[in-house]
Structures are given as structure tokens and as C-alpha cells.
Structure 1
Amino acid sequence: MKIKAVILASVASIVMPLAASAADLTLRFGHVGNPGSLFEASANAFAECANGKLGDRAEVQTFGSSQLGNDRELLQKLKLGQVDFSLPSSVMSSVAPEFGVFEMPYIVQDRDHMRRIQAEVGDTFQEAALAEGYRIIGYFENGFRHITNNVRPINVPEDLKGIKLRTPNGEWRVKMFQLYGANPSPMAFSEVFTALQTNVIDGQENPYAQIASAKFQEVQEYLSITNHVYTPGYVLVSENRWQALPEDVRADLEACGSETQDFVYDLAAKLDEDLLQVIRDAGVAVNEADQAAFVAASVPIYEEFANTIDGGAELIERIRKLASGS
């Protein structure tokens, strides 16, 4: 009996640490997307890919709707090791100035253009992220953004004069809408619906996938199709946490960051069509804005970025040259 007890104790001493280790390798992916959003579908697709590859070595669990915090809080929690992945978009311009180039109006023409940017200029953004303690392991998207509000249709920039417009927490988006004449108000995404409903703000700007999943069509009268900014989404990790993961786990996660991109882009393109109709069907008045007028009004913000950000002019030029695939 004593021998059996010793054997059982020995087995327990081996098995229990293994079980604890497996539990410790639960990887939490936090994001701000609501149910039905592109962010939710993207994070879930990444988790499905990762869990299929990882088997019993680790498990990725997703938490949407800002359950683990808003974008800024998630960035901090990555650093603290409280979250393993997040999916920031516009907020990255406040992490490193290089990401502000994606805040330049109309600089990204389409998703194929974004693929070329990733391939040819991606090292610039990875280095900028690493310098701040983060690593990008995949490029997803938040999409092409449009303006909704309760005051008037927006056809040209002058129509934004005096409109209280929610923007993400990024200095260049604020500068852009100030330039257009709006009264921009940075605010966490999770707070926007209530702010619109209570008239704290008049409007907001987001891709269709965020507008529809957050049900902004229930509290907005006008949608103006502007396509003013395309915002990439970044599958982001803390570099310290990343280096602490086993090499084989890192390889599988990085592969899923790449492999899931096609799914994200295909779904995003489909949602661009389907969700516009959902918003129309809710009774929102839809108009096509004069994009040429917005492009013309955007010249000063390009000049400011080029003149104030180290390497800004070169970065703009490199991205513009890739628009035609040259």
C-alpha cells in the first residue's frame, strides 16, 4: 500500500504541473467589436484557425464588446500580460506616429492596395510597434469609414460645420474633422450609442460593419458615403509575452494571422454591400458625398503629416506609389 501511495503521489507530482501549465496557456483575445461585427467574426476566425493548429498545446479564447476593456485599456493590458491579443485600428496612431499615415484621407485605395502596403512597407510598421513593446502578427481591417449624423446630409466638407462628431482617440482623425469644420469629440466606441441616443453628440464615423452591429442606424437619421479613411486592424501582442511563448506556438499563431486575412477581406467586402442595405432598411437617409471635395480639402493634413512626422513625406510617397501596383 505504501508503494502504491508513493507511486500515486509521484504521478500526481508529474501530472499536476502539466495540467497547470496547460491551463496557463489559455490565450485571451480582447476586442471592442459587438456581436455581428467584422471584428467579432475576424477574432473568432483567428481563434478557430489557431485552436485547430495548436491542439492541446494552447487555446485562444475571444472576448468582444469591450468586455476586457476599450482599445486604450487593451493596449495597457497587453503590456501587463492581462490580455494576450487585441485588435486595435485607429488608436495605433497614438501608439507610434508612423501609424498616423493611415489617418490620411483617401490614402488607401482598396484592399489590394493595402496588401501591397503590407508587403512593401510592413517592416516600417512592425519596427514602430516593436519600439513601443508590441508586435503585429496579422493585418485585418476595420474598413472604409463613412459619416452618420442627425443634423443634415454631408455632401461636402462644409456641411460638417458645427456638427458634434465622435471620433476615435487619434490626433489625426481629430485634426482632419477640425479641418473639415466639424466639432470632433474623441470617445470610446462602447460609449457612442448612448451618446448619440442622448444627443451628447450629433454623429460619428465608422465602417458599415461597426455602424450596423452597434445599431447606430436606430439613433441616426443620415448616412453619408464618404470612404474618407480606410483603417487597418492589427492583430497585436506584447513583445515580452510573445517571446515567452513556445516557438511552435508562436509559429502557429503567426500563420493564422496571415491565413485569416483572406477570410477577413472577403467578409468585409461582402458586408460593405449587405450592411448598407440593412442601414437603408432601418430608414436612414443615404447619400453619396462629393469625395473630390473631401480630397481637395484634405491637402493641409497631408502637408502637416509630411512636415511634422519624421519620415512622413517619404512614407506618404511610398504608399501612394503602391496604389497602382507599381
Structure 2
Amino acid sequence: MHTTLKALLAGAALLATSAAAQAQEEIIFGISAANGSLQERTASEFAKRANEKLGDKAVVKVFDSSQLGKDKDMLQKIKLGTMHLTLPSSTMPEIAPEYAIFDLPFMVKDRDHLARIDETLFKDVLVPAAEAQGYRPLAIWENGFRQITNNVRPINTPADLDGLKIRTPNSSWRVAMFEAYGANPTPMSFSEVFVALQTGVIDGQENPLTNIAAGKLDEVQKYLSMSGHVYSPAYPTVGIATFEKLDPEVQTVLAETAREVATWAREQGASADGELLQKLKDGGMEVNEADRQAFVDASKPLYEKFAAEVDGGQEMIEKAQSLADGS
């Protein structure tokens, strides 16, 4: 009898454990950025912090390097409910054109300026614009200041880009930017860039140092031109319908942790810039400082395009610029 009771108790415990395991919902977080990039490290930091708070309620799992699809695919999946979170960056203007404010060259002065934009324009304008399309970005994370690499020559002025095939993200605004600079922009997913550079399908590309290093682009690129032409954020984003099916406590943890990790990401980005630059130099890249004013002058048509094509565009430009020095 004693043995039977022990067996029954053991069986009940096993069933309880199994039920608890089944109750723990998996929060699937897919990103296109490579392992080791700041976007991937931020997503992993987010998962670690969120999972500590979630306990047995749910577990966040991160899939990097486009394992779950390209950015466009993953945006569709969070709407359909086959995954919960993704991390678009330069593709966001294709969802809501207001996000092209970050595609205006030299719009963001520094990370403190970005923090002030986060507290105002992001909350008041950008989030509602995405929500109107069924998406909700939970925060602004760091992607970084973008630099230009290529295999033909150092890029000092836009004239040096003339005729070069430069990979851009699948963003009509980034394409317009590099057309204005005289390049031949070639949109493609980041996961395809290394081989395209290796085989000469494209001459170069533009990305933050963290993505250049994580993608090992120093192995297939000779010149690194420090242009800092765009600061591109990344946005931990959910599909509203899918997100609101989650337990309200889980929703709160995910939203609060996404905001919390935003500061961590900017600090990590700032502290890593010098180290990454040295790593790329050690990898054999030749580094030069681009002529900032030449690029600023060539960028004016982008500001005119944004003001003309985006509702409230001129007001957004003026608001963002007014925040540059903390005013």
C-alpha cells in the first residue's frame, strides 16, 4: 500500500510538472541581425531580464541571423501570430513613412539627442503611426551610426560613390539617399551581403560598425569610410492582435523590459565604437574620415522629399532639430 501511494504521488507530481511546463508560453523573438551584433546582444539581454521577471508564466526565445525569415517576413509573422516579437530597423518606413525621419542624413546628432527624440516624437507620433498599421514598437533600441564600406576606393565625398553598387536595406528612403549621392543602390537582406560582396555582385554597403564587425565584412571589404550619415534605431515590435492575446502580466513585463533595455543598448553602443573600429582596422580595413559637409550639402533633397511626402513632415523635422541641444 505504501509503495502504491508513493507511486500515485510520484505520478501526480509528474503530471503537475508536465502541466506547468505546458502552461509556460514561448515568446518567439526573431531578428535579422547576426549573432554578436549589438542588436542580437540587446535582444539577448532583453530575453534574460524578461525571463527573470516572467518566472513560470512564459519564456522569451531569441532567433537571430534571419533564422525565421527576412525582416518583411517576420513583420508578417507577428501579425499572423506565428511569432511574437521582431526587431526591424531601416524597414520601418515601409510600414509607416513617419519613421523615415531617421533616414534623414545627420538628423540625429548623438545618442543624447536620440534619447530626447525617444521621449517625445517616438511616443507621440511614431508609435501611433505604427499602431494604425497593426504594429506596436515597444521601444527604440540602438542599431547605430552607419558608415560606408567598399572595395573600390575610399569615400571622402558623395562624388566618390558615383556608379558604385552599394547594398542598402530594403528601404525606399535609403535607396533615395544613395541615388542622391550618385551611387547605384542595391537593396538586399543583410544575410545575403557577405556572399554578394565576396562574389562582386555589389561593391560595398553601409551599416553601423557593430553589424560590419559581426558580419565579418572586414574579410570581404577593403575600405571603411567613416561617414556617420545616418543613425538608425531598431524597434522591438509586436503585432497588436497577437500581443494582446498574451496574459496581461506578460504584456507588461515585455513592454517595461523593452524600455528598460533601451538605455543599456545606447550605453553599449557608445562604449563599443572605438573597440570595434580598432578590430576592423586590425582585420585589414583602410579607414578614412568622410567630408561631413559635402554629405550634408548632398542630403538636402532628402529633407525636401520628407517634408513634401510625409504628413506633418516639416513639423517633425523642426521638432527633432529643436531637440538636438536639449531645448
Query: Do both proteins adopt the same fold according to a TM-score greater than 0.5, normalized to the shorter chain?
Result: yes
Aligned partner of 1:20 in structure 2 is 22
Aligned partner of 2:168 in structure 1 is 167
Task: Give me the whole-angstrom Cα distance separating, in 2, the residues matched to 1:287 and 1:36.
Answer: 25
CA shift, 1:46, in A, is 0.2
Which is further off, 89-98 or 250-259?
A: 250-259
Could you tell me the TM-score, scaled by structure 1's length? 0.94
Unaligned runs of 5+ in 2: none
Aligned partner of 1:147 in structure 2 is 148
- Closer, same or farther: CA 223–13 of 1 in aligned 2, 3 Å: closer
The ranges of structure 1 where at least 4 consecutive aligned residues each deviate by more than 3 angstroms after the TM superposition are 4-19
> Partner letter of residue 22 of structure 2?
A
Which is further off, 69-78 or 140-149?
A: 69-78
Task: Give me the whole-angstrom Cα distance separating, in 2, the residues matched to 1:196 and 1:13.
Answer: 54
Tell me the alpha carbon deviations over residues 90-116 of structure 1, each in whole angstroms, 9 at most, x when there is no partner.
000111110011100000111111110
- Cα RMSD after superposing both structures: 1.9
Aligned partner of 1:208 in structure 2 is 209
Aligned partner of 2:326 in structure 1 is 325
- Closer, same or farther: CA 36–9 of 1 in aligned 2, 3 Å: closer
* Contact 2:28-2:61 at 8 Å conserved across structures: yes
Aligned partner of 2:188 in structure 1 is 187
CA shift, 1:69, in A, is 1.0
Which is further off, 5-14 or 175-184?
A: 5-14
Tell me the alpha carbon deviations over residues 187-207 of structure 1, each in whole angstroms, 9 at most, x when there is no partner.
000000000000000000000
* Contact 1:103-1:231 at 8 Å conserved across structures: yes
Aligned partner of 2:52 in structure 1 is 52
Tell me the alpha carbon deviations over residues 241-290 of structure 1, each in whole angstroms, 9 at most, x when there is no partner.
11111111111111111111122111111221111001111111100000
* Contact 2:170-2:189 at 8 Å conserved across structures: yes
Aligned partner of 1:315 in structure 2 is 316
Unaligned runs of 5+ in 1: none
> Partner letter of residue 216 of structure 2?
K
Matches within 5 A, 1:1-326: 19-22=21-24, 25-122=25-122, 123-326=124-327
Aligned to 1:59, what secondary structure does the other structure show?
strand
Percent of aligned pairs with the same amino acid? 50
* Contact 2:20-2:56 at 8 Å conserved across structures: no
Aligned to 2:236, what secondary structure does the other structure show?
strand
CA shift, 1:21, in A, is 2.8
Aligned to 1:142, what secondary structure does the other structure show?
strand
Could you tell me the TM-score, scaled by structure 2's length? 0.94
